[in-house]
Amino acid sequence: MSLEREPLPSTLGIAWRQGADHLRQAGVEEADADAELLLLYLLGISKAELLRDLRERFPVAKADAWLELLERRVNGVPVQYIIGEQYFFGRAFEVSESVLIPRPETELLAEAVLEVADRLWPDQAAPPVVLDVGTGSGILAVTLAAERPWWRVIASDLSPDAIGMARRNAQKQEVASRITFVKGDLLTPFLAGDEYPSIDVLVSNPPYIPSSDISGLQREVRDHEPRLALDGGEDGLNPYRIMAGQLSLMPVLPRVVAWEVGAGQADDVATLLRDAEVWDEIRFVKDYAGIDRHVIAVK
């Protein structure tokens, strides 16, 4: 069924239903939710306003734009990239195809870092320095800076586009003055010299998809999310291997290392850290599907 052959929706409620039906017939899994987000974006209103005004007339002037939004979603563009926004830890973050779309499981990494750092640095007068490597849209750096205003936060990424977006998100959340942004590859900028303070907490959600698996990903991911932020090398472990080797080269070893990992990678990543024989504790945090998704090392 083509939406162009349907009559113009007479009300906002009918537009929502027709849009969801169109997406569903095209195989979009979250058809109702995506149609809702697209309609809210089109109209510039909240969900509460949409529910209140379901019987209001659909604006004829927006008909072409509505069809265009739906067709972009049908063609595989993630809804977050279409509307340019995704929520993380209760905050709206700007996203585009230059950064990964934030995932709910990464919120669990932020929670784990907050918990362990609060335990190790209870005195606000002596806060930790936290480094977010591969910051992308800045979700971890911005969230940690917003949740703990007294922490010192550094956000790094190899992509200048990602750094620019992370900076904008920090400005939007009014924490930009408390985050230092660094362009560089993994831990390389922090290995020598005194340009940056010693790192107390290292957090990262690096690329971890094996190169050969990328072609089999959902088209929304494969065709639209940046390969630089997906491809972890032959077995997906290259970023962890490199960072584990770089840790010993840092002026001071972080007391906390917290990494998000791919399914089935937690044991291998933990082994990379155990080889250093400096950690008092290495534990896993499971995601909402029960998968060991985060590796936390503490000394």
138 is in an annotated binding site: yes
Q: How far is CA 113 from CA 75, 132, 145, 164, 200, in A?
A: 38, 11, 12, 24, 11
In this structure, are residues 208 and 263 in contact, taking their beta carbons and an 8 Å threshold?
no
The H or E element containing residue 17 is helix 12-25
213 is in an annotated binding site: no
208 is in an annotated binding site: yes
157 is in an annotated binding site: yes
137 is in an annotated binding site: yes
Describe the crossing of helices 12-25 and 31-43 by its angle, rounded to 10 degrees. Answer: 140
Q: Given the structure tokens 């979250």, which residue do they identify?
A: 30
Describe the crossing of helices 31-43 and 63-74 by its angle, rounded to 10 degrees. Answer: 140
CA 223 to chain centre: 17
**DSSP character for 14?**
H
Q: Could you give the 3-state DSSP secondary structure of residue 130?
A: strand
198 is in an annotated binding site: no
Q: Where is the binding site for substrate, in residues?
A: 205-208
Q: Where is the binding site, in residues?
A: 134-138, 157, 205-208
Q: Where is the binding site for S-adenosyl-L-methionine, in residues?
A: 134-138, 157, 205
